[in-house]
Every structure is written in structure tokens, then in C-alpha cells.
């Protein structure tokens, strides 16, 4: 009986853990103007996310393709990253897609680089 109580206490303590996570760029498509952001969530974690950080990251990624902004589109998807000991999932990858907005050229902005003669090239 003591073992069951101890196991229940461990599960209750782990279930109560709240973790702040940052989104990470994990993919996307320049031609579609879509950026994919993800984070990893363990089985008993309660995750706190900063949506402003996600929009900022997606906007920066879109800007490299010539777009002026980004907005969330659709919901989130969860994919099991690691199976647990009793057949459940111990860790998930959570992914959200962002649509690039604004004037998208499909090309990265031009960058000036110095030539070997010291003049600037486009």
C-alpha cells in the first residue's frame, strides 16, 4: 500500500510541473510562404507559451523570404516523439504553422557584399 501511495505522490508532483517553453523554427516552405514552429512537451508537463515570441520568430523567418509579416493558421499538431514504458507517449513534438503575409517575392532580400576591389556589389 505504501508503494502505491508513493507512486501516486510522484505522479502528482510531476503532473503539477509548469514549464515555460519557447517555439523553435523547425521547417516551412518558401514557395508556400509557410513557417513551421515546434516545441517538445513531456507527458506530465503543463506548458506555458509566449505567442508573441512565436509571431516574432515566424515574422523574422518570413522576412528572409521577402514577406512583411506572419500570422498563425490552423491549430497545433502533436506527434509522439518517444514512447513511454506502459505503451503511452512520454514525449510529444507540438507544431504550429504560420502563414507569411505581405509582399512575398519568393526570394530572399538582396544583400550588399564587398567585392575584392573594395566596391560594393548587389
pLDDT one-digit tens code per residue, 89-120: 999 999 999 999 997 655 555 445 555 555 55
pLDDT value for 34: 96
pLDDT value for 116: 57
Residue 27 confidence (pLDDT) above 60: yes
User: Quick one: DSSP state of residue 121?
Assistant: E
Joined together, the cell numbers standing for residue 43 give 507527458
Count Cβ atoms below 10 Å from residue 90 Cβ, excluding itself. 14
> Can you tell me the distance from the alpha carbon of 101 to that of 28, in angstroms, rounded to the nearest whole number?
14
Q: Specify the pTM.
A: 0.69
pLDDT digits (tens, 9 = 90+) for 65-76: 999 999 998 889
User: Quick one: DSSP state of residue 116?
Assistant: T
pLDDT digits (tens, 9 = 90+) for 34-93: 999 999 999 888 999 999 999 999 999 999 999 999 999 888 999 999 998 888 899 999
* 3-state secondary structure at position 4: helix
Amino acid at each position: 500500500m505504501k508503494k502505491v501511495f508513493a507512486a501516486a505522490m510522484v505522479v502528482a508532483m510531476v503532473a503539477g510541473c509548469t514549464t515555460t517553453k519557447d517555439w523553435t523554427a523547425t521547417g516551412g516552405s518558401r514557395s508556400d510562404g509557410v513557417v513551421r514552429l515546434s516545441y517538445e512537451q513531456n507527458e506530465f508537463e503543463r506548458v506555458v507559451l509566449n505567442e508573441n515570441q512565436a509571431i516574432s520568430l515566424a515574422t523574422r523567418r518570413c522576412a528572409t523570404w521577402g514577406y512583411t509579416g506572419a500570422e498563425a493558421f490552423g491549430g497545433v499538431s502533436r506527434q509522439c516523439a518517444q514512447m513511454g514504458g506502459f505503451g503511452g507517449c512520454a514525449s510529444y513534438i507540438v507544431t504550429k504553422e504560420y502563414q507569411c503575409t505581405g509582399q512575398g517575392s519568393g526570394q530572399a532580400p538582396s544583400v550588399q557584399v564587398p567585392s575584392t576591389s573594395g566596391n560594393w556589389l548587389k
